[in-house]
């Protein structure tokens, strides 16, 4: 399979400090859309996403919390990737935003879809749903569901795309897109490639990708609101490739390449 070389914006990464105060900007002018987040109480990045939305003045209509928590295995993967250097931000830090929280047993249920329709939600944001979302839920908001995928689509769909990109000596990046039933196949809203320093190691790169994804979710939501974007108004993705979880032997190659400062995007 052949792929065209993508032209994507490249961003130099600065690393987050979860201890800094939350600065809320005034709401966006001409705000007319209801934005809701899908997450769980223990989603590790929910606080960072809320912070990014608050800093950009994007009002949040509600947060829908699924009863299924992040599994111990997934929590361990997050901690191992970040070496504990990206701790959760407490939801109590956002008490001044007065965001309603709703507890829904299953984000993929008809109950959830009916809640979204009856509350006139325009944009859903995947802020850590534990569910695979089907068409009835994806079509419930008037605009769509926004996701941020840690890979440059359509080249990198699927699993451990950060690791595969480094292994292939290609650029790591994030892509914000509208979700569809096909995995990582929905219309692209925006994407950015990332570059790193010679001193960055695996955990540094993973932290940077996570942090950048949180801000990109907010930026993509702002872009959809301001430019009145809709899945139907954006082009379909080109042909791409799906990647399975990287094997352990190739993962070791990734770590050693970064330690030797031989990754092409360590500059």
> Which residue in the list 78, 107, 149, 212 is annotated as catalytic?
149
Cα–Cα distances (Å) from 62 to 18, 25, 161, 196, 249, in that order, read 23, 18, 30, 35, 43
Instruction: Tell me the pLDDT tens digit for each residue of 70-90.
Output: 999 999 999 999 999 999 999
pLDDT at 253: 98
pLDDT tier, 25 (very low <50, low <70, confident <90, very high otherwise): low
Is 11's pLDDT higher than 90?
no
User: In this model, does residue 244 exceed pLDDT 80?
Assistant: yes
Is-contact 143 116, C-beta < 8 A? no
Tell me the mean pLDDT in the region 147-163: 98
Query: What's the rounded Cα separation, in Å, for the pair 146 and 163?
Result: 23
The answer on pLDDT for 47 being more than 50 is: yes
Residue 6 pLDDT: 42
Q: Residue 242 pLDDT > 90, yes or no? A: yes
Residue 64 is predicted with a pLDDT of 98
- Residue 149 catalytic? yes
Mean pLDDT along residues 240-265: 98
pLDDT exceeds 80 at position 248: yes
Question: Average pLDDT over the chain, rounded to whole?
Answer: 91
Q: Which two tokens stand for residue 253?
A: 């190659």
CATH number of this structure's domain 24-259, picked from the four choices 1.10.760.10, 3.40.50.1010, 3.40.50.170, 3.40.50.12230 = 3.40.50.12230
Residue 260: pLDDT above 50? yes
Inform me whether the pLDDT recorded for 27 exceeds 90.
no
For range 13-38, the mean pLDDT:
63
- Which two structure tokens, joined as six digits, stand for 2? 């052949």
Q: Is the pLDDT score of 204 beyond 60?
A: yes
- Extents of the domains making up the chain: 24-259
pLDDT for 117 equals 97
Residue 9 pLDDT: 56
Q: Which residue has the higher pLDDT, 5 or 103?
A: 103
Per-residue confidence band for 32, with pLDDT thresholds at 50, 70 and 90:
confident
User: Is 100's pLDDT higher than 90?
Assistant: yes
Closest CA to 112 of 75, 68, 74: 68
Distance (Å, whole) CA 183 – CA 242: 9
Give residue 39's pLDDT.
Answer: 98
Query: In which band, very low, low, confident or very high, does the pLDDT at 224 lie, cut at 50, 70 and 90?
Result: very high
Higher pLDDT, 245 or 17: 245
pLDDT value of position 7: 46
Give the pLDDT band of residue 16 (cuts 50, 70, 90). low
Cβ distance 209 to 185 under 8 Å? Answer: no
What 3 state SS string does the chain have? CCCCCCCCEEEECCCCCCCCCCCCCCCCCCCCCCEEEEECCCCCCHHHHHHHHHHCCCCCCEEEEECCCCCHHHHHHHHHHHCCCCCCCCHHHHHHHCCCEEEECCCCCHHHHHHHHHCCCCEEEECCCCCCCCHHHHCCCCCEEEEEECCCCCCCEECCHHHHHHHCCCCCEEEEEECCCCCCCCCEEEEEEEEECCCCCHHHHHHHHHHHHHHHHHHHHHHHHHHCCCHHHCCCCCCCCEECCCCHHHHHHHHHHHHCCCCCCEC
- Give pLDDT, residue 178: 98
Q: What is the pTM of this model?
A: 0.90
């Amino acid at each position: 399979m052949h792929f065209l070389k993508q032209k994507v914006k490249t961003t130099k990464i600065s690393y987050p400090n979860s201890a800094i105060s939350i600065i809320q900007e005034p709401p966006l002018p001409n705000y007319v859309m209801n934005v809701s987040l899908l997450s769980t109480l223990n989603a590790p990045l929910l606080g960072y996403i809320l912070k990014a939305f608050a800093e950009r003045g994007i009002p949040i209509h509600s947060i829908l919390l699924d009863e299924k928590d992040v599994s111990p295995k997934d929590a361990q993967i997050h901690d191992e990737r970040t070496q504990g250097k990206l701790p959760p931000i407490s939801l109590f830090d956002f008490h001044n935003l007065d965001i309603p929280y709703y507890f829904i047993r299953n984000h993929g249920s008809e109950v959830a879809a009916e809640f979204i329709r009856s509350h006139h939600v325009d944009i859903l944001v995947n802020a850590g749903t534990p569910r695979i979302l089907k068409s009835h839920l994806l079509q419930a908001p008037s605009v769509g569901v926004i996701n941020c995928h840690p890979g440059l689509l359509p080249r990198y769909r699927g699993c451990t795309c950060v690791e595969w990109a480094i292994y292939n000596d290609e650029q790591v990046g994030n892509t914000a897109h509208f979700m569809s039933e096909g995995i990582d196949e929905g219309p692209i809203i925006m994407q950015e490639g990332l570059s790193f320093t010679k001193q960055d190691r695996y955990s540094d790169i993973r932290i940077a990708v996570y942090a950048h994804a949180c801000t990109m979710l907010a930026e993509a939501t702002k872009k959809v609101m301001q430019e009145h974007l809709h899945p139907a108004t954006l082009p379909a993705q080109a042909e791409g490739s799906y990647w399975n979880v990287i094997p352990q032997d190739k993962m070791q190659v990734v770590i050693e390449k970064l330690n030797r400062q031989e990754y092409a995007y360590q500059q």
